[in-house]
Amino acid sequence: MRTQVGIVGAGPAGLLLARLLERAGVDAVVLESRGREEIEATIRAGVLEQGTVDMLNECGVGTRMMREGALHRGIELRFGGQGHRIDLAGLTGGRAIMVYAQHEVIKDLVAARLESGGKIHFGVEGVSLQDVDTRTPSIHFRKDGAGERLECDFVAGCDGFHGVSRPTVPSRLRREFARSYPFGWLGILVEAPPSSDELIYAWHERGFALVSTRSPQIQRLYLQCDPQDALDEWPDERIWTELRARLATTDGWKLKEGRIFQKGIVAMRSFVVEPMQHGRLFLAGDAAHIVPPTGAKGLNLAAADVRVLASALAAFYRSGDEARLAAYSATALRRVWRAEHFSWWMTSMLHRFHDDDAFSLRLQRAQLEYVVGSKAAATSLAENYVGLPWD
Contact 346, 339 (CB under 8 A): no
- 377 three-class SS: helix
Under the binding rule (CB under 6 A), the answer on residue 285 touching ligand PHB is no
Which range in 28-36, 39-47, 223-231, 254-262 contacts ligand PHB by CB under 6 A?
39-47
- 121 three-class SS: strand
Which range in 52-60, 69-77, 250-258, 293-301 contacts ligand FAD by CB under 6 A?
293-301
Strand partners, 189: 220, 262
DSSP 151: E
Q: Which amino acid is at 22?
A: E
Q: Which amino acid is at 251?
A: D
Which of ligand FAD, ligand PHB, none interacts with 89 (beta carbon under 5 to 8 A by kind)? none
Under the binding rule (CB under 6 A), the answer on residue 255 touching ligand PHB is no
Query: 32 Cβ partners below 8 Å, 6+ apart?
Result: 9, 10, 14, 39, 120, 121, 122, 123, 124
Q: Which of 222, 292, 293, 351 is catalytic?
A: 293
Under the binding rule (CB under 6 A), the answer on residue 273 touching ligand FAD is no
We find the least distance from the C-beta atom of residue 210 to ligand FAD, in angstroms, to be 9
Under the binding rule (CB under 6 A), the answer on residue 299 touching ligand FAD is yes
Q: Which of 294, 300, 329, 364 binds ligand PHB (CB under 6 A)?
A: 294
Which of ligand FAD, ligand PHB, none interacts with 12 (beta carbon under 5 to 8 A by kind)? ligand FAD
Query: 38 Cβ partners below 8 Å, 6+ apart?
Result: none
Under the binding rule (CB under 6 A), the answer on residue 46 touching ligand PHB is yes
CA atoms within a 13 Å half-sphere pointing along the CA-CB vector of 145:
0
Which range in 3-11, 45-53, 301-309, 322-330 contacts ligand PHB by CB under 6 A?
45-53
We find the least distance from the C-beta atom of residue 184 to ligand PHB, in angstroms, to be 13
We find the least distance from the C-beta atom of residue 106 to ligand PHB, in angstroms, to be 14
Q: Report the side by side order of strands in the sheet with 82-86.
A: 82-86, 75-79, 200-202, 209-213, 218-225, 175-191, 259-274, 289-290
We find the least distance from the C-beta atom of residue 367 to ligand PHB, in angstroms, to be 18
Spell out where 122-208 has E strands. 125-130, 138-143, 146-151, 154-157, 175-191, 200-202
Q: By the criterion CB under 6 A, which residues form the site for ligand PHB?
A: 45-47, 199, 212, 220, 293-294, 296
Q: By the criterion CB under 6 A, which residues form the site for ligand FAD?
A: 8-14, 31-34, 39, 44-45, 102, 124, 127, 158-160, 163-164, 266, 285-286, 293, 296-299, 302
Active-site residue list: 72, 201, 293, 297, 385
